[in-house]
Chain A
Amino acid sequence: MKIEGRHTVPAPQETVWQRLNDPSVLERSLPGVERLEPDGPDRYRASIKYKVGAVSGSFSGSVELSEKNPPHSMRLKTSARGVPGFVTGEGKLELVPKGAETEVVYSGELQLGGLLAAIGSRMVESAAKKSIEDFFKSLASS
């Protein structure tokens, strides 16, 4: 499943880069993330709670940042596991300055396993889109 899009954050590139690399900002801004703990350099352990209508549950997993090119781009790798299955994903973030604002361009691929893959793909995709939007809204006000 491909996830891609772009969002404009009303802050300079340098600021957006700092926010994206600050675990306390990420913990606050990432929808559903309850805890984000450092687990080595550029690696975090995360626990996530989600609720979409009657469907709810929790995941635990990790996020890894790599190929950092401050303040322009980085790669993200994630994997999480919960009762309804597992998600792994890899993608790229690019920060493009647009005057006083910054356009964040993201693209990546998610793989679903277990029940999630069997019955949940339509839900995961739209839940993921909504989460990404909420994340950028929250990032803008951090």
Chain B
Amino acid sequence: MIPAAFEYFAPKSLDDALRLVERHGDEAKLLAGGQSLIPLMKLRLSVPRYVVDIGRIRSLRSIREEGGWLVIGALSTHHDVESSEMVRLMAPLLAETASEIGDVQVRNRGTIGGSLSHSDPAADYPAAMLALDAQIVAASSSGTRTIHASEFFLDLMTTQLRPGEILTEVRIPRLPERSGSAYRKLHQPASGFALAGAAVRVSLDEVGKIASAAIGITGVAVRPFRASGAEAMLAGKKPSPKLLADASEKVADGVEPLADIHASAAYRRAAASVYARRALEAALARAEGEKG
């Protein structure tokens, strides 16, 4: 349980960090809260030559509003997100999701940027990122670029981020009027990871029909995905228990679920439906009460 030898850097500014990752490219790993990377290094499943610890770059730990967008710095811990008044107000789905991650220690150390960059298939945040149409900002020595959440997650633990890039912040657009949201997950009892997790945002029109629904699913496949078939079934309809049940049935359609010692593919598919329905019910109740 002792990591292989590596060279350690602790830059104090983003520019210094960018220079380091540019110089060392593929051989460098970024360390933020260390809740994924350190266990992997201790098991020697990850043996980076250079570790660039960005934990001292204070400018990356902030939560603010900017032109109607909620902007969360990459080094914000899950606890920061879960306890922020601004997040609860502007993107309550994110606060609820953060509160469901791992355990107290993980939430105190783990960061939103670290979780998204690592992109574990059972991580919680990715589902909410998809449901909220978030934008992910990455910096490199040649500038910054913005990646839409729907294009960010490519494959198993593989994202759009390139060597030499650092995820700096996440931007969440303002929610439509009369919106409600909820995150529901089946916890793996030992690790707290999601065996299936559903992040839902629904918006109602003036007569109480569903104007639009967004459903992000995590834990089920190699990467998180939007349940677009189920979303289409809900759009324009008057909510009813039958409609929610029918749409939930479809959330994992066309997806090849993961199978491992924790859960079979069929189990994950079934769990995705159950938790999507629960998230939909909670989100609708909140939209009807307009408590987000």
Residues on A close to B: CB < 8 A? 51-57, 83-84, 115, 119-123, 125-127, 130
Give the residue of A55, A115, A126, A130 whose beta carbon is less than 8 angstroms from that of B46.
A55
Give the residue of A51, A120, A122, A127 whose beta carbon is less than 8 angstroms from that of B258.
A122
Stretch touching chain A among B37-45, B101-109, B138-146, B168-176: B37-45
Query: Which parts of B139-186 form the interface with A (CB within 8 Å)?
Result: 155-158
Give the residue of A51, A119, A122, A127 whose beta carbon is less than 8 angstroms from that of B259.
A122
Contact A57 B44 (CB under 8 A): yes
CA distance A7 to B44 in the complex (A): 34
Contact B156 A127 (CB under 8 A): yes
**Residue of chain A at shortest CB distance from B121:** A122
**Residue of chain B at shortest CB distance from A117:** B261
Question: A54-B29, A57-B45 known; A122 and B260 CB under 8 Å?
Answer: yes
Contact B258 A126 (CB under 8 A): yes
Cβ distance B199 to chain A, nearest Cβ, rounded Å: 21
Question: A126-B222, A127-B156 known; A55 and B40 CB under 8 Å?
Answer: yes
**Residue of chain A at shortest CB distance from B29:** A54
CA distance A56 to B157 in the complex (A): 12
CA distance A72 to B157 in the complex (A): 37
Give the residue of A54, A122, A125, A126 whose beta carbon is less than 8 angstroms from that of B40.
A54
> A residues within 8 A CB of B46?
54-56
Contact A53 B156 (CB under 8 A): yes
**Residue of chain A at shortest CB distance from B191:** A119
Residues on B close to A: CB < 8 A? 26, 29, 36-37, 40, 43-48, 118-119, 121, 155-158, 222, 258-261
Contact B259 A54 (CB under 8 A): no
Contact B47 A125 (CB under 8 A): no
What are 15 of the A-B contact pairs (CB < 8 Å)? A52-B157, A53-B119, A53-B157, A54-B36, A54-B48, A55-B45, A56-B47, A83-B45, A115-B43, A115-B45, A119-B45, A123-B157, A125-B258, A126-B156, A126-B222
CA distance A125 to B40 in the complex (A): 18
CA distance A73 to B209 in the complex (A): 59
Contact A84 B156 (CB under 8 A): no
Please give 8 more A-B residue pairs, beta carbons under 8 A apart, in addition to A52-B157, A126-B155, A126-B222.
A53-B157, A55-B45, A56-B47, A57-B47, A83-B47, A84-B44, A125-B260, A126-B156
- 7 closest pairs, A vs B, by CB? A53-B157, A122-B260, A54-B46, A126-B222, A121-B260, A122-B258, A55-B45
> B residues within 8 A CB of A123?
156-157
> A residues within 8 A CB of B29?
54
CA distance A122 to B157 in the complex (A): 12
**Residue of chain A at shortest CB distance from B4:** A83
Contact B261 A54 (CB under 8 A): no
Cβ distance A50 to chain B, nearest Cβ, rounded Å: 11
Cβ distance A24 to chain B, nearest Cβ, rounded Å: 26
**Residue of chain B at shortest CB distance from A84:** B45
CA distance A135 to B47 in the complex (A): 25
